Chains A and B, each alone.
Chain A
Amino acid sequence: MMPESLRQALCSALISWADDELLLGHRDSEWTGLGPIIEADIALSSMAQDEMGHALAWYELAHSLGAPDPDRLVFERGPEAYRNATLLELPRGDWAFCLLRHYLFDMAEWVRLEAWRQIPWEPWSDLAERITREEKYHLLHDRTWLERLAFGTEESRHRLQGALIDLWPHALGLWEAPEGEDLLVQAGWITGSDQLQARWEAEVRAYLGGLGLQIPDVPPRAGGRYGRHTEHLAPLLEAMQLVYRSIPGAKW
C-alpha cells in the first residue's frame, strides 16, 4: 500500500504534465482549417490529436491512482485548478510561434520521457516508452520547419526571433516543480525538474544557437504549476468546456 502523500504527489506530477499536453493539443487544433497549406494543416491537426491522446493516457494513469476521471479533470476544473505551465495556454500566435512552442515543449517532453522510462512502475514506464515513438516524429516535424523559417526570409527569421523572445520565460516555467515533487525525488521515483531542465537547456540552447537565434536573458514565468495563470487560460477553458458544462453529467 502506497503512502497517501506519495500517491498525491504522483497524481500531481501526472496531472501537471497531462494539463500541458491537453492545452497544447487544444492550441494546435486551433490551426485546423487555417494552416498555411493543407498538408501542414493536416500534419498539425494530427499532432493535436497525438497530444490530446497523451493527455488522456496520463489522466487515466492518475485516475488509476485515485484522481477524478479524465472528463471531470478536463471539463470541471477552473483555471486556478489547472496545473499546466503558462507556455501551453498562450494563444496560438503565428506559424513561427506555433512551431517554436512545439519544439520547446516536445524537447522537454523528450527529456522527461527519457527519465520516465526508468520509473519503477510499469504502467508509467511503458506509457513513456510508447509515447516516445510519437515524439520522435514531432521533433522531426518541428525541426524541419524551424530550420526553414530560420534560414528562409528576413520576415520568417524576424518572426521566429520575436516568438523566441515571447516564449522563452514561459518555456523556462515548464520546469517549475509540481507540488510534492521533492517527495518523489527522495523516494527515487523521478528525476527532479532542475536536473531535467539542465539537460533540456543544454540541448535547446545549442540547437537554437545553431539557427542563429538569440535567447533572451530573462527569469522564468513560473506559477502555472500552482494555478497562477495568464489571462489567456480562462477564455480557452470557456471554449473547451462550453458543451460539457451546458448539460453537466450528460452522457454523450
Chain B
Amino acid sequence: MARAGWKFNPYHHRIPEALERARHPVPPADTEWPVWEVFRQPERGEPHVHVGSVHAPDAQMALVLAKEQFSRREPCVQLWVVRAEAIFATPYEDADIFEPALDRTYRLAAGYKVRPRINQAASSSEEPSS
C-alpha cells in the first residue's frame, strides 16, 4: 500500500541531511507562529511566574509545547500562556519613574521588628500540649 515516489528516510541519513539544510537555509516562512509568554504555577495558591516563551499557532498548542519546555524539572500544577502582543510594558527609558526622589524608606516594612515575636510564637506552638 506504500505510495509511489515516497521513500522512508533511513536513520544514517540524518547528519548529511542536517548539513544539507544548513548549506541551503530555507527563507523565513511568512507563516511564522506568534509568540506566547508562559507562566508556571509551582503549587496551588502560589503566583504564576513568568518562565519564558514558546512559538505556537494557537493557545492549545502553546500549552502542549510549554509543558515540555518549562515543567520538566520544576514543580508545576498549572501553566498559563498569554499572547506576547497582549502584554503592555513600560519603556526602559522611563525606568527612572521607579526611582524614589525623596526618602521613602517609611514604605519599606524593614523597620518593623517582628522577627523575635514570630520566633517566640513559633517556639511556643511547638511545645507539646499536655
- Residues of A that sit less than 8 Å from B by CB: 30, 33-34, 37, 39-40, 42-43, 46-47, 90-93, 137, 140-141, 144-145, 148, 162, 165-166, 168-169, 216, 218, 232, 235-236, 239
Q: Could you say which of A30, A46, A236 contacts B72, with CB atoms under 8 Å apart? A: A46
A92–B6 CA distance with the chains assembled, in angstroms: 13
Chain B, 63-80, CB within 8 A of any chain A CB: 64-65, 67-69, 72
Given known A39-B56, A218-B1, contact A93–B8 (CB-CB < 8 A): yes
B17 touches A148 (CB 8 A): no
Contacts of B120 in A (CB 8 A): none
B72 touches A148 (CB 8 A): no
B12 touches A235 (CB 8 A): yes
Interface status of B57 (Cβ within 8 A of chain A)? yes
A43 touches B64 (CB 8 A): yes
Contacts of B67 in A (CB 8 A): 43, 137
B33 touches A42 (CB 8 A): no
A46 touches B68 (CB 8 A): yes
Interface status of B61 (Cβ within 8 A of chain A)? yes
B68 touches A43 (CB 8 A): yes
A239–B15 CA distance with the chains assembled, in angstroms: 13
Interface status of B9 (Cβ within 8 A of chain A)? yes
Given known A42-B69, A166-B2, A235-B12, contact A34–B18 (CB-CB < 8 A): yes
B64 touches A144 (CB 8 A): yes
A193–B111 CA distance with the chains assembled, in angstroms: 71
- Residues of B that sit less than 8 Å from A by CB: 1-3, 6, 8-12, 14, 17-18, 33, 54-57, 60-61, 64-65, 67-69, 72
A92–B1 CA distance with the chains assembled, in angstroms: 17
A46–B66 CA distance with the chains assembled, in angstroms: 12
A91 touches B10 (CB 8 A): yes
A231–B6 CA distance with the chains assembled, in angstroms: 17
A148 touches B61 (CB 8 A): yes
Given known A37-B33, A37-B55, contact A90–B8 (CB-CB < 8 A): yes
A40 touches B1 (CB 8 A): no
Q: Which 9 A-B pairs have the closest CB atoms?
A: A91-B8, A43-B68, A39-B65, A46-B68, A144-B64, A39-B54, A165-B1, A162-B3, A141-B64
Given known A33-B18, A166-B3, contact A144–B8 (CB-CB < 8 A): no
6 residue pairs A–B, Cβ–Cβ below 8 Å: A34-B14, A42-B68, A91-B9, A144-B60, A169-B1, A239-B11
Contacts of A239 in B (CB 8 A): 11-12
Contacts of B1 in A (CB 8 A): 165-166, 168-169, 216, 218
A40 touches B65 (CB 8 A): yes
A90–B10 CA distance with the chains assembled, in angstroms: 9
Residue of B nearest to A221 (CB): B1
A235 touches B11 (CB 8 A): yes
A144 touches B12 (CB 8 A): no
Q: Could you say which of A47, A140, A169, A232 contacts B8, with CB atoms under 8 Å apart? A: A232
Contacts of B69 in A (CB 8 A): 39, 42-43
Whole-angstrom distance from the CB of B83 to the nearest CB of chain A?
15
Residue of A nearest to B1 (CB): A165
Contacts A30-B11, A42-B69, A91-B9 supplied; 13 other A-B pairs, CB < 8 Å? A30-B14, A33-B18, A34-B17, A34-B18, A37-B33, A39-B55, A39-B69, A90-B8, A92-B9, A148-B57, A162-B3, A166-B2, A218-B1
A218–B2 CA distance with the chains assembled, in angstroms: 12
Contacts of B65 in A (CB 8 A): 39-40, 42-43
A218–B10 CA distance with the chains assembled, in angstroms: 25
